[in-house]
Chain A
Amino acid sequence: MKRFTQLIQELETSNKTNDKIAALVNYFNMADEKDKPYVIAMFTGKRPRRPVTTALIKEWAIELSAIPAWLFAESYHSVGDLSETIALVLPPAQQTRDRKLHEWITDLALLNGQDDDVKKEFILQAWNSLDTQERFIFNKLISGNFRIGVSNKMLVNAIAKQSDTDSNKIMHSIMGKWAPGEITYKELIAGVHVNTDSSWPYPFCLAYALETEPESLGETTAWQAEWKWDGIRGQLVKRNGELFIWSRGEELVTGQFPELHFLKDELPDGTVIDGEILSVKEGNVQAFSILQQRLNRKTIHKSQLKDAPIGFFCYDILEAGGKDIRTEPLSQRRKILVELMSALTTKDIAILSPVLSFQSWEELAEIRKGSRENNSEGIMLKKLSSLYHSGRKRGDWWKWKINPYTVDTVMIYAQKGSGRRANHFTDYTFAVRDGEQLITIAKAYSGLTDKEIKEVDSFVRKNAIEKFGPVRTVKPELVFEIAFEGIAESKRHKAGLALRFPRIARWRKDKIAAEINTLDDLRQLLASTL
């Protein structure tokens, strides 16, 4: 476990991707063979069943460290991570033991179904034989939840480098079905449990934001316009009787979207389609916040399948009949795509992303104003003669996004963040004016630089009025412009409405609290969107 602890420390002390990959490569070069598949399983979220509940672990830690529960809670707020808090508050270990990572993991798995006394004895003994860093790792092993800034993609790149194997093959292999106790690292790399010859995706073609007026693009007839859908960019790969769904992050997400699995039977072999994963209900695209319920889930509830059904809006076709057609012009690819889509028997799930017809740029600008009604983010402009580029290339594809709504608010609460942001006040609650009162309208925690966070943090410390656990009420003085994508009625919020995707657009140091927006302003906006 010492080698693994070292890896975690190395991963945490650098924020450079190359350093992290180097640390992972080093680890896979030197680590115990049996440990390796467990590490890959852990980093990709293949979680074993949790053998001991959080409540029990917390209870034992409090008991062993002989501190009151409230003090443990305060410590937790300062640390921002439960496993780490426990590792730090426990009394120093009295023994040392170096067991292998996979031994700890298999022993922990054996605790499932045992009496609490047996579990307690095991956990306490382990804590007493590990140093602070190792304890932290051990606690993470119990929760099975390692979030240490290693994406699947990064892990895959490291393994690919270490084993000199194509990274898409590794991605397919580790996203497949396997169990860490039953497969060797070599077998995993070789992908003995999957057929990695069929899954590989193409690099996505990406667009730059259009910063000028579209008139600069010349004749309208040279361009194809579509809605810019607000979902997850995806690639459908159907080869050798198998279907794979890749996300923009080059992760395999096939299992997350069972609604699309019919395509395995309906798409011909040798087909690759570029499109957007969206929540689509009765043919209508739903808001991103609804799609969000479906993302990164290991299990999907029935209600989620019903409330947030998945659809796939097809943009483009990259491979047809097993042939790479990315160098064909878009107009030609579109024809092939239309033909292919019309042959599907299941309708309304995989849908052709409609092409907008327009005569002039002014007309398109008018159409664009209606973007929000379709839950789209604006318009995509693609040159009809364009080939399908790898990555971002200026000139052929443009995204012409609509501007977000904004509202000026004042900060009234601040809370310490977690993870990297623990110990700094980084999560803020904002209010607008409602007569003499201030009424909460949004919570947001992104959009500020580290320097600004420090400044706000220092303001909060000096101007805190009241304290509720980790939350401080602060003097309503700092004005922030909040950007948001939509507004909806809400019974759950005191204001009677809720903002969609609120985030800090900028800190309005030039404004004072008297100049912020009112609840009436927002009500008017709401009325105008209905």
Chain B
Amino acid sequence: MRHVANTVALVVAFLTAFPLYWMVVSALKPAGEIQSLDVKPWTLNPTLEHFTRVITGEGFGRYFVNSAIVALSVVVLSALVAFLAAVAVTRFHFRFRTTVLIMFLIAQMVPVEALTIPLFFVVRDLGLLNTLGSLVLVHLAFSLPFAIWMMRGFVAAVPEALEEAAMIDGAGRATILWRVLFPLVAPGLVATSVFSFITAWNDFIFARTFIISAKDSQTLPAALLVFFKPDENDWGGIMAASTLMTIPVLIFFVGVQRKLVSGLGGAIKD
């Protein structure tokens, strides 16, 4: 019985991982092998030609840096803002506290794609069309409700006695906040940051809507569409660009997977 279960699990693992394997191996295949009608699931002549073409010829190096700037700015800002807000809703009892919490919850379900329409005009009126700043701002706004919701569980898990002890020792408010509480919830901040990073890094629709004419401000997902041509898709280039885009997220995910699953369990149970 156990053998059957093990075999099934391995087969499913193989099938699940296969698209990612296929992406990488296709990116490494010489153009001739991709065009070949006799496809092989491996390559004996790996080449970096697609990567060099994509990075130098198509400007993906620039897009990669742009994506990284946007995602990292969102991560840092969202972590600080969410931390403060999470402290407010867990450590204090004030009027409208439940209302504020419910609003953070409702904000998570708003279809952000529909908000592209009004946001396009907001961004245009601010003169921010075609800038990376516009993407940082909207992703910060959209990652906050979930980040606050998730951080809440981590802040609540820190015993209040620790802060009280620090206060008795004469520590001020700011010291308690940034020297005592902040380091204690750092693991939670990392898990939360992964989600902020991913929404910003993966974003396709806002980049497509706000960055309309400035190629220099393009980010990876929207730039990927460049390779889709009506007659003949450049699959080698598409797979190389997709690989470039996927690797940072994979590293991020696998690196923090344990915190992620427990943090998520917390976010779901809470």
Answer whether A and B are interacting partners.
no
Q: Measuring CB to CB, which residues of chain A are less than 8 angstroms from any residue of chain B? A: none
Q: Measuring CB to CB, which residues of chain B are less than 8 angstroms from any residue of chain A? A: none
